[in-house]
Chain A
């Protein structure tokens, strides 16, 4: 993959027409973007850069940088990469602009489900869907005669067998870094057990049976993990897979492509994707559905916005998808779901289907409260009930300050 891209890059520079070879227009307005840093973003921003005058910042800390950067006038970035989680603060602060007229003018090639509408106005252009689903070492499971687990009970049973066999260092990996990651891991499990985060009057509702069960299952899984799981984020788990240290993980589908990257991975072709496991029989897969896409800042000139939108269209074209087909579950025309998409297809088409991550202020506050308070349960400082109580207290304090309680 890397090699073909290098060769392609070399070929383009040899053409002599410079950077604009693959671009429909020559961009003359200097533009910048800030987005997350996984493979799909790299491909899209690389395609955008071919039009010239564009710098992309791929930063895993974009979540905290983006709201402040877009609030500046003029905005520090014209283009932002968001997901349905990071979309909320920008939308709330009113720092992104409606794209309806730009879509009408330049967006002919967009599929209707790429248009993210809020209150009737198009506020973002989605490019891919993302979800956490089961990734597993097919060879390890086959050798031990384990069927692909579809429930967490089966995952635990499989982990026990793998541990006994001792074929990998740790049977299970998980994105449980304290803060955003561990909170998201809890969200998945909590929804899997049928929980709802807040009541209709905005008071918290995590200290429930579903919350306790979610924590119990997470704790049971940690027995089979690298003991340093509280510092392990998506990249860490991806590397654990690539280095053959783990056999199963509920990991982002955007990381699937990296498993077969021969430059990084020692397990090319051995990692397969399956449905996100169910927490309870007949429930939804214990995960959430996400989309990733782009927004355009409000505090910039109309000229910049127009150039930015054209650039986005260039980044989201069929050529880019053809070249990077397996890096994501693209929503863009020309995408052919391959082997690595099987997990997402199975997850999203399961009946009942998992929920999309809610883009709400309440969820934002809850996510932060969970991220701060959950680690104490896993370090053994607090029991499950006390932890959930602390989460609710932290949420209540923050919600009062934010004016929603």
Chain B
């Protein structure tokens, strides 16, 4: 292909990727080393509030931001090096916890608490999604032709639901005296509060994510199953291979690239777990890295946003994803080189 043709095809996509991915990334990277803060002044202010029945006026010194002539808040931006990262990671506390031999204390720091959950969540849902997805695909593949359409439609439903809505509906089934909690209470004849402790909420979240994402794996695997070489399967049957052996030695090796593809996508997606935290209002017990970034970005009760810490936490999240993906990417790279 001529370079001009190639460039005119690829150009728009490269431009959009620069605009929407590369530049924001550079900007976040820069901001993680900066601190923008309002210029504060101390003023003596008389404030009058209703009190009760009569007005009460108090004069006090207040620290308030300086306003510019145009009405905005005057801010200054300074380079602070790794201070935002330090504020997120709190390594001094980590080392002192390690030094004192109380490793559990590390999990009281927001970032490490979030990392613990994010990793558990990612690594537990991955095999479950693969197994459940493969299970449904095999079941549909072996189902009678007249039922296939209906089964596919029903299996895809969870994937169609908006994530937050799905999380909320599961929450409402279980929270307080939700119908499923009451049903469980009747079944087990004991009082159950699903939202009173962390581990039950985590189980609900894992269940929800597997339920939501398994159809994606199913669709991909089902497509892959259609391309399995029938001759190889038949010769395996003639050789006396059982159903399990055929799956183990013929089907799975054939689907391996797809398994890696789904794993890559799932790792990237679930490391950014967020909807579950919001949907299940689990902040008191369980938080994730993506939620932590969001929380830094939310204005606090004095109107400040911790942009520096949010940027640092976003960069750390990205680094985490890259580390998780390395083994899989290396494998794909090896296969790629091998096939050439």
Q: How many residues of A contact B (CB 8 A)?
A: 73
Report if A89-B198 is in contact (Cβ < 8 Å); known contacts: A231-B175, A289-B52.
no
In A208-241, which residues have CB < 8 Å from any B CB? 226-228, 230-231, 236
Is B54 an interface residue, CB under 8 A from the partner? yes
Residues of A within 8 A of B283 (CB): 178-179, 375
CB < 8 Å: which of A84, A386, A398 contacts B49? A84
Q: In the complex, identify which listed stretch (A28-36, A153-161, A262-270, A365-373) lies at the interface while the others stay far away.
A: A365-373
Pairwise interchain contact B302-A113, C-beta atoms closer than 8 A: no
Give CA–CA (A177, B281) in the complex, Å.
Answer: 9
Pairwise interchain contact A404-B284, C-beta atoms closer than 8 A: no
Pairwise interchain contact A291-B49, C-beta atoms closer than 8 A: yes
CB < 8 Å: which of B39, B72, B108, B300 contacts A368? B300
Report if A64-B299 is in contact (Cβ < 8 Å); known contacts: A227-B196, A403-B40.
yes
Pairwise interchain contact B38-A360, C-beta atoms closer than 8 A: no
Is A92 an interface residue, CB under 8 A from the partner? yes
Residues of A within 8 A of B65 (CB): 92-93, 361, 403
Pairwise interchain contact B63-A362, C-beta atoms closer than 8 A: yes
Pairwise interchain contact B303-A364, C-beta atoms closer than 8 A: yes
Interface centre among A228, A368, A390, A401 (most CB of B within 10 A): A401
CB < 8 Å: which of B50, B56, B108, B197 contacts A386? B108
Give CA–CA (A89, B198) in the complex, Å.
Answer: 33
In A230-273, which residues have CB < 8 Å from any B CB? 230-231, 236
CB < 8 Å: which of A345, A365, A372, A397 contacts B295? A372
Residues of B within 8 A of A228 (CB): 175-176, 193-196
CB < 8 Å: which of B52, B176, B198, B302 contacts A92? B302
Is B308 an interface residue, CB under 8 A from the partner? yes
In A83-134, which residues have CB < 8 Å from any B CB? 84-86, 88-95, 112-120, 126, 129
Is B62 an interface residue, CB under 8 A from the partner? yes
Pairwise interchain contact B73-A93, C-beta atoms closer than 8 A: yes
Pairwise interchain contact A226-B63, C-beta atoms closer than 8 A: no
Residues of B within 8 A of A63 (CB): 301
Give CA–CA (A64, B63) in the complex, Å.
Answer: 21
Q: In the complex, identify which listed stretch (A15-23, A48-56, A377-385) lies at the interface while the others stay far away.
A: A377-385
Pairwise interchain contact A356-B284, C-beta atoms closer than 8 A: no
Pairwise interchain contact A398-B300, C-beta atoms closer than 8 A: yes
Give CA–CA (A152, B79) in the complex, Å.
Answer: 50
Is B187 an interface residue, CB under 8 A from the partner? no
Is B57 an interface residue, CB under 8 A from the partner? yes
Give CA–CA (A120, B281) in the complex, Å.
Answer: 42
Pairwise interchain contact B48-A115, C-beta atoms closer than 8 A: yes
Is B45 an interface residue, CB under 8 A from the partner? yes
Residues of A within 8 A of B194 (CB): 228
Give CA–CA (A402, B309) in the complex, Å.
Answer: 12
Pairwise interchain contact B284-A402, C-beta atoms closer than 8 A: no
**Which chain A residue lies CB-closest to B43?**
A119
Is A349 an interface residue, CB under 8 A from the partner? yes
Q: How many residues of B contact A (CB 8 A)?
A: 54
Give CA–CA (A28, B39) in the complex, Å.
Answer: 40
**Which chain A residue lies CB-closest to B300?**
A368
Residues of B within 8 A of A344 (CB): 52
In B300-317, which residues have CB < 8 Å from any A CB? 300-304, 306, 308-309
Is A180 an interface residue, CB under 8 A from the partner? yes
Is A68 an interface residue, CB under 8 A from the partner? yes
Q: How far is the CB of A107 from chain B (nearest CB, A)?
A: 15
Report if A404-B50 is in contact (Cβ < 8 Å); known contacts: A89-B302, A365-B301.
no
Report if A291-B50 is in contact (Cβ < 8 Å); known contacts: A92-B73, A230-B284, A360-B63.
yes
Give CA–CA (A372, B73) in the complex, Å.
Answer: 26
Give CA–CA (A384, B7) in the complex, Å.
Answer: 63
Pairwise interchain contact A378-B62, C-beta atoms closer than 8 A: no
CB < 8 Å: which of A94, A119, A363 contacts B73? A94
Pairwise interchain contact B51-A113, C-beta atoms closer than 8 A: yes
Report if A365-B45 is in contact (Cβ < 8 Å); known contacts: A92-B73, A113-B55, A129-B50.
no
Residues of A within 8 A of B50 (CB): 113-114, 116, 126, 129, 291, 331
Q: How far is the CB of B179 from chain A (nearest CB, A)?
A: 15
Pairwise interchain contact B72-A356, C-beta atoms closer than 8 A: no
Residues of A within 8 A of B175 (CB): 228, 231
Residues of B within 8 A of A67 (CB): 299, 303
Is A301 an interface residue, CB under 8 A from the partner? no
Residues of B within 8 A of A353 (CB): 52
Pairwise interchain contact B284-A378, C-beta atoms closer than 8 A: yes
Pairwise interchain contact B284-A178, C-beta atoms closer than 8 A: yes
CB < 8 Å: which of A94, A345, A375, A382 contacts B285? A375
Is B250 an interface residue, CB under 8 A from the partner? no
| 23 pairs, A vs B, C-beta closer than 8 Å | A64-B299, A67-B299, A89-B302, A92-B38, A92-B302, A93-B65, A113-B50, A113-B55, A117-B57, A118-B47, A119-B46, A231-B281, A291-B50, A345-B52, A356-B51, A356-B56, A362-B302, A365-B300, A365-B304, A372-B110, A375-B284, A375-B285, A402-B38
Chain B residues in the interface with A (C-beta under 8 A): 35, 37-40, 43, 45-57, 62-65, 67, 71-73, 87, 107-108, 110, 175-176, 193-198, 281, 283-285, 295, 298-304, 306, 308-309
